[in-house]
Amino acid sequence: MPLSSHHATPSGKPRARHYAIPFEGRPGPNNAITDVPGVAVGYTTLIEGDGPLVVGEGPIRTGVTAILPRPRADLAQPVFAGLFSANGNGEMTGSHIIEEIGAFTFPITITNTHSCGVTRDGTLRWLTATAPDALEAAWGLPVAAETYDGFLNDINGHHITMAHVAAAIDAASTGAIDEGSVGGGTGMIAYEFKAGSGTASRRVDWQGRTYTVGSFVQANFGKRRNLMIRGQRVGAELAEPAMVERTPRREKGSIIAVVATDAPFLPHQLKRLARRIPLGVAWTGGLGYHSSGDIFLAFSTANAEAATGASGAVARAEYIPDCDIDPFFDAVVHGIEEAILNALIANDDMTGRDGNFVPALPKGWLERAFR
């Protein structure tokens, strides 16, 4: 009998709940950002070659993640949003207009550091081909973000193309999604274990309605000595298996996180949600070190008409009062914590360029520690 989507990814990788880790909060049906109605996620994953690095040839361990904030037909319709940079040693394009007007349009892409511009431009190329009127109705300033995968990947080979971006957007689907070494997370490392893409969700009841808060991370940060799982400092007992560094490794860790919700919030409130994302990161042991680009985005699919704002008319938006926002803060922190652990657990060992090796978080240890 197949495991539920709470316990395994569609490709059969175990998720954190498979090991009976006692999380807080009530997840949505797939425990994923795609539990927010209308939100979809797609991947392009590139894993090719082995052996010594030959720039431009490989080995390749990279990819593209696409997050669609609305259904394809509605991608030109803005979503209210808020952004928070806990440590700006990284990149997220489109951030200035989000700061200015509290909204963005079009798919979000996440990839490796040296391909961030390609995914931004690839999103515009995809829109030109599939929905050219959208670029007449909205600003061409899509969100594209990055983390560094150069320890495993030929990052200077620039293997991501606009076709890969289009493929990730075209592959975007709702329902259960894969995690771990997929999409932009393919070559990423967290706490010196193989990591990458992770997701989770929480349901929040308010005034007779149930809302969803979904989280997605591209996790590429943290020192193993700091790793925590549900408040347990486990890094010290997980010194092995160790990474194998056949070429010098510069510390270039980062985390990009996206929170989506169907709860009606205004831009200043979404910025408040984004500011709580680092607390979920900290619950796993992330301390925002100098080299870590920790950049966080939150958006709401509610208030579509108000976000669009017709000229010459007063726009009206609903919103949950700030005094009732605390359960949504809980949902953000709990979801981000679980998404990071899912990125670590739904994973396998990986060997990349020059024989550099990153182990997966040991499954046997998880069985003993939590089951």
Whether pLDDT at 322 is above 90 = yes
Which of 148, 89, 146 minimizes the C-alpha distance to 117? Answer: 146
Size (the chain), residues: 371
User: Which CATH number characterizes residue 234's domain?
Assistant: 3.60.70.12
- Confidence band for 118, pLDDT divided at 50, 70 and 90: very high
Domain span at 326: 16-305+317-360
In a domain, 226, yes or no: yes
What pLDDT does residue 2 have? 52
Catalytic residue among 201, 254, 262, 300: 254
Average pLDDT value for residue range 49-78: 97
In a domain, 10, yes or no: no
292 catalytic, yes or no? yes
Average pLDDT value for residue range 228-241: 94
Tell me what percent of the residues of the chain surpass a pLDDT of 90: 91
In a domain, 4, yes or no: no
Pairing of strands 79-88, 293-300: antiparallel
What pLDDT does residue 1 have? 38
Place of tokens 């008409």: 305
In a domain, 43, yes or no: yes
Whether pLDDT at 369 is above 60 = yes
| Residue 190 burial (10 A CB sphere; 0-12, 13-18, 19+) | buried
In a domain, 366, yes or no: no
In tens, the pLDDT along 180-212 reads: 999 999 999 999 999 999 999 999 999 999 999
3-state secondary structure at position 285: coil
In tens, the pLDDT along 167-186 reads: 999 999 999 999 999 999 99
Instruction: Answer whether 0.95 is exceeded by the pTM.
Output: yes
Whether pLDDT at 303 is above 70 = yes
Whether pLDDT at 345 is above 90 = yes
Assess contact for 178 and 13: CB atoms under 8 A.
Answer: yes
In a domain, 2, yes or no: no
Catalytic residue among 181, 197, 292, 300: 292
Query: Average pLDDT over the chain, rounded to whole?
Result: 96
Q: How far apart are CA 123 and CA 105, in angstroms?
A: 11
Helix ranges restricted to H, the chain: 95-101, 116-130, 132-137, 162-170, 267-282, 304-308, 326-345, 363-370
Catalytic residue among 294, 311, 326, 348: 294
In a domain, 370, yes or no: no
Least trusted range by pLDDT, from 161-175, 233-247, 262-276: 233-247
Q: How far apart are CA 203 and CA 210, in angstroms?
A: 6
In a domain, 28, yes or no: yes
11 catalytic, yes or no? no
The number of domains in the chain is 1
170 catalytic, yes or no? no
